[in-house]
Structure 1
Amino acid sequence: MRERHKDSLSRVSASGHLPRPPGEEVDPRASRRGFLGGLGGIALGALGEGADSPLGDCCDPPGPPAALEAIRAEARRYRALLLRHQAAVDEFTLGTFPKETNGDEARYPERIGNYSKGLPHNDLGEVDPEAYDALLCALASGRWEDFEAIPLGGRLRLTNPLGGLTYDLIGPDAAAVPLDPPPALASAEAAAQMAELYWMALCRDIPFTDYPTDPTIAAAIDDLRRYSGYRGPRPITPQTIFRIDSPGTLEGPMVSQFLLQPWTFDGIGITSRLQVPLPVTTGDGIDFLTSYEEWLAAQRGFPVGTTISPPRMDPVPRHIHDLRALGQHAGADVHFSSYLRAALILLSYGDQALSERNPYRSSRTQTGFASFGASHLLTLMGCLTRASHHGFYGKWYVDRYLRPDAFGGRVHNRRRGAADYPIHEELLGSPVLDRIHAYNRLVNRRRGLNGGAGSYLLPVMIPIGSPTDPSYPAGHGYTAGSRASLLKAWFNEDFVLPSPVKPNRDGTALEPYVPGVDGPPLTVAGEINKLAHNTSMGRDAYGVHYRADDLAGFHLGEELAIRTLREERPTYAESVFEGFVFTRFDGTVVEL
């Protein structure tokens, strides 16, 4: 049997065609008794007609169980081969999507618009040219040995530059998904999204409940309205600031119900409170990379002798009630864990929350498990982990986009006159920079850094600054796009969530959210979209990504989910299943 299997595969490889089933001349519509001496006809019937069973109806069994299983197994062997072959051919036929860069790598010989953290840098935070060329050489060759030869500037190691070259046997290849270029360093969009990050840093400790009346939020709204390249929802109001514009995301609380509601994991009841760093503006908290010396050490990967300070944590666990708590959640999660939580909460509502297309939702005699049950859903969620391959291909092999903390260094050196970087005037003339300078002075005095002087650097919540991989697209963005698409396809998007809640002002408790009084009813689709916003833009609040990273990640993740579910569709035995359907973040409906 092993030799026959090997021979079949070799014939596929050599000829480009599937092996012909034995006895193909047998009419697949002949009587069941006529099939007992010729398995090939049954196999062909299964192949050609997509039959639920190669044995026809069950009123006249063809023989003993062993014979029945042998017939079924042989038919399935050929149909499985056809399905896998057809999926590969379909993907191959789609081709690749040419990916243009923003041109910064060629435009600036100093690589000031590209990621270089962890490599040697000069005193301006500009990468050593030979080290960057060694990185490019390794990326061009894809050889482990060449990556090991890249000179590093400190203790931090590069994050998985070979991950994007992994091949996937399900869904699209990492190089075969579309990815638009990120905003160029000198563009109005880059200025707008950097200004948004500065304002997010200044607003981290403002409770969401205070947004309608807080003067710093009002100042942020007035400033962001000026930017021609701002890509957030308009009009900018206390309800829309720091959000994305997708169905449901602008309604109700900033935080998704799936990050507020209690949930159960393996029978263990879990509340949604987490430990959060102390606030800076109203407490004894600190941020990081606010002094130039610490910022430069981070760009160099923290050389031996430099210190990495820990955050100061609030001993009281809190619900997500401000941007600092939202950022901490996005910094402490495991990318997909929030969507696992959402799936478990939705499954706890029973069949009423399932998509109307789930074949077992209204079945009289059957329920789902191996297919269309919890096990199936969670398996598919794990299957979409391969989104990291696609994301890391874009990060390392296409754009190599600089992280926000590096951009902050460019702004700082431009404002202090140390370098003439091409920063857009809309940012250089913004009042947010003077506010950031004063904020960083407060933090530096508290930490005894930089002589207590201020800076124009971006204050971040993570002690090492950004992770050691390029910024675009965002990992939490493509995780959000893929998992959110799956959840919206699996559950009833219009289902109204029962007993919604909202955090109180300091996050120590939850209060009822009353539809019709506090806002509209909260639906599955809206709260899943909001969850995607929370987990991705939470990383922006953390200080390590931009809005463009999130939006590109959303699109990439959606594309991966669509093409994966499209391959899944013909593998199911449930003939009443009409295919998946869900609404994308931009409001368009996808039917598979």
Structure 2
Amino acid sequence: MALATLTAGTTTLVNTACEPPDEEPANSETRRALARRIRSYQLRQQAALNEYNQGIFPKRTNGDEERYPNRIGNYSKGLPHNALGEVEPAAYNALLRAIDTGRFEDFEAIPLGGLVRLFNPMGGLTYDLVGPDAAALSYEPPPALASPEAAAQMAELYWMALCRDIPFTDYPTDPTIAAAIEDLSRYSGYRGPKPITPQNIFRIDYPGVLDGPMVSQFLLQPWQYDGIPIEPRMQVPLPVTTGDGIDFMSSYDEWLAAQRGFPPGTFPGTPQMDPVLRYIHNLRGLGQYAGVDVIFSPYIRAALILLSYGPPFRPPLSERNPYVSASTKQEGFASFGAGHLFTLIGSLTRASHAGFYGKWFVNRYLRPDAFSGRVHNRRRGAADYPIHPELLNSPVLDRIYVHNEQINERRGLNGGRGSYLLPVMMPIGSPPDPAYPGGHGWGAGTRVSLLKAWFREDFVIPNPVKPNRDGTALEPYVPGVDGPPLTVGGELNKLAHNVSAGRDAYGVHYRADNRAGNRLGEDYFIRFLREERATYAESVFQGFVFTRFDGTRVEL
């Protein structure tokens, strides 16, 4: 048995499990098994010691929980709330008590206001035997409620809601897009690409993301699953502005019911679906995809597409892969082959432990629908919330009022009057867990980093495509005419952006959530793969290399 004695900041390993036997084993198979037993123990022991020696990374918050006794800057969805949508103090204190103790029964003692249950707060307390601990990663705190950045990212979500049904092909000429560019350009806290243009609005400045179509080739190109051809058209809700579609949370009564977790007698609405299957061609389609995907499925799809590229049996693998050479007499599968790749895609789900630790045990950041309720009550004079004037004075709020008026008339809500609430695509308003960091963000950060390490980032995507105006067909994307050539690295970065920002288009996350989630995912992947590398038997393997979202190269 191995004992680790941790005293005075030092680590002393007392090893009693790896002592040699009194007699030499009788045969080579037994000797080999003994050697592996000892080496396996040493690898696990050293990995744990390496993680321990990383030290403690204290987490900083934005200070809103201490700043506002009524908790208006923090997540409280599903708990009892007053008529302003402010959480009942005793209920929030019960949440803090459970956060402090980490006991299952204390989480069970938190009073709920309705039928919606809290989403896995104890997931952040899970311990892992592979990769970094849930509490071991650091990141910047989210923007404070009253900050210019919070105002800017909330304004961006309002504009995304107004632009959901505009085809991406129309962005250069659409007047609503032009109005969004003019308004967002004046925000001092705007963190998107600048100057804002029809090509880069609602995007992020990772390498390759600003090139070509808004949507990644890995969400547009067909692929095969178990030999079954699949074309990525999907069913999306009907448009609001040009059809009979609806959004949710446009009425204050519905919004308040959502904050309370839908008490008995109140019910979330149901989206009205377009019967025509379409490729992702606007924000509504992008939001719908990010609203219904399984958190690892986009990367399985991307991997299958990437494995189909190139000459037979020779996809564009990283040159660091020990089996990449055609002259190699071995083929990878359980190590450095498809089996290994898909195992890693699944294994990286462990990053959710770190993400949920940040959500519940550090930040407790309010969701966009809750933020919009603060804006609504401030604009109608019901509360004096510290919303930054750049948002309060924005023309987007008057446009949102009219947009919600149209929805409420269609749905028979709020006497047909409008509101300053954020109209969202999710029927319950937002998931019942805090916003920061974003789950789809860290899911993208881990797996896109893996795929960039596994495949050649500079490989040019063959036969690129773009959706037509209404999303009913694909057209060729012509490099040099429609834009620059599209590479694997750039389109994987774009996939990370699409899946992350798709949650913004859905109405449930902010830009800052995406950046923090992407960064968390990258950091987790680096520590995970550095630890795993020691387990590989291929002596020629020199470690993977990939490019981070900020453009820096990392060698593992």
TM-score, shorter chain, exceeding 0.5: yes
How far the C-alpha of 1:12 sits from its partner, in A, is 9.0
Q: Which has the larger radius of gyration?
A: 1
Give me the identity figure in percent.
Answer: 74
Contact 2:307 2:315 in 1 (8 A): no
Kindly indicate whether residue 402 of structure 2 is the aligned counterpart of residue 438 of structure 1: yes
1:422–1:327 distance in 2 versus 1, CA, 3 Å: same
How far the C-alpha of 1:211 sits from its partner, in A, is 0.3
Contact 2:3 2:15 in 1 (8 A): no
Match of residue 357 from structure 1: 320
1:88–1:215 distance in 2 versus 1, CA, 3 Å: same
Q: Which amino acid aligns with 1:328?
A: Q
Contact 2:249 2:424 in 1 (8 A): yes
Match of residue 378 from structure 1: 342
Aligned counterpart for 1:110 among listed residues 32, 53, 70: 70
| Residue pairs, 1:178-327, within 5 angstroms | 178-327=138-287
Aligned counterpart for 1:513 among listed residues 477, 481, 488: 477
Match of residue 57 from structure 1: none
Q: Which amino acid aligns with 1:69?
A: E
Secondary structure, aligned partner of 2:27: helix
Contact 1:233 1:243 in 2 (8 A): yes
How far the C-alpha of 1:179 sits from its partner, in A, is 2.0
Q: Which amino acid aligns with 2:475?
A: E
Match of residue 17 from structure 1: 14
Match of residue 75 from structure 1: 35
Kindly indicate whether residue 522 of structure 2 is the aligned counterpart of residue 529 of structure 1: no
Match of residue 134 from structure 1: 94
Q: Report the Cα distance in structure 2 between the residues aligned to 1:20 and 1:407, rounded to whole angstroms.
A: 55
How far the C-alpha of 1:352 sits from its partner, in A, is 4.0
Secondary structure, aligned partner of 1:17: strand
Match of residue 494 from structure 1: 458
Match of residue 405 from structure 1: 369
What is the number of equivalent residue pairs in this alignment? 548
Unaligned runs of 5+ in 2: none
Aligned counterpart for 2:119 among listed residues 159, 163, 176: 159
| Residue pairs, 1:140-151, within 5 angstroms | 140-151=100-111
How far the C-alpha of 1:9 sits from its partner, in A, is 3.7
Query: TM-score, normalized by length of structure 2?
Result: 0.97
Q: Report the Cα distance in structure 1 between the residues aligned to 2:165 and 2:328, rounded to whole angstroms.
A: 53
Q: Report the Cα distance in structure 1 between the residues aligned to 2:452 and 2:16, rounded to whole angstroms.
A: 39
Secondary structure, aligned partner of 2:466: strand
Q: Which amino acid aligns with 2:493?
A: N
Q: Report the Cα distance in structure 2 between the residues aligned to 1:274 and 1:106, rounded to whole angstroms.
A: 45
Contact 2:3 2:13 in 1 (8 A): no
Secondary structure, aligned partner of 1:16: strand
How far does the alpha carbon of each residue in 1:8-46 deviate from its partner, in whole angstroms, 9 at most, with x for none? 346999972334755599xxxxxxxxxxx746xxxxxxx
Secondary structure, aligned partner of 1:511: strand
Match of residue 532 from structure 2: 568
More displaced 10-residue stretch of structure 1: 569-578 or 11-20: 11-20
Query: TM-score, normalized by length of structure 1?
Result: 0.91
Secondary structure, aligned partner of 1:77: helix
Match of residue 168 from structure 1: 128
Q: Report the Cα distance in structure 2 between the residues aligned to 1:400 and 1:22, rounded to whole angstroms.
A: 48
Q: Report the Cα distance in structure 2 between the residues aligned to 1:358 and 1:180, rounded to whole angstroms.
A: 34
Q: Which amino acid aligns with 2:317?
A: L
Kindly indicate whether residue 504 of structure 2 is the aligned counterpart of residue 540 of structure 1: yes
Match of residue 554 from structure 1: 518
How far does the alpha carbon of each residue in 1:185-243 deviate from its partner, in whole angstroms, 9 at most, with x for none? 00000000000000000000000000000000000000010011001111110000000
Q: Report the Cα distance in structure 1 between the residues aligned to 2:5 and 2:227, rounded to whole angstroms.
A: 48
1:463–1:560 distance in 2 versus 1, CA, 3 Å: same
Secondary structure, aligned partner of 1:470: coil
Match of residue 3 from structure 1: none
How far the C-alpha of 1:95 sits from its partner, in A, is 1.2
Q: CA RMSD in A?
A: 1.5
Secondary structure, aligned partner of 2:53: helix
Contact 1:99 1:178 in 2 (8 A): yes
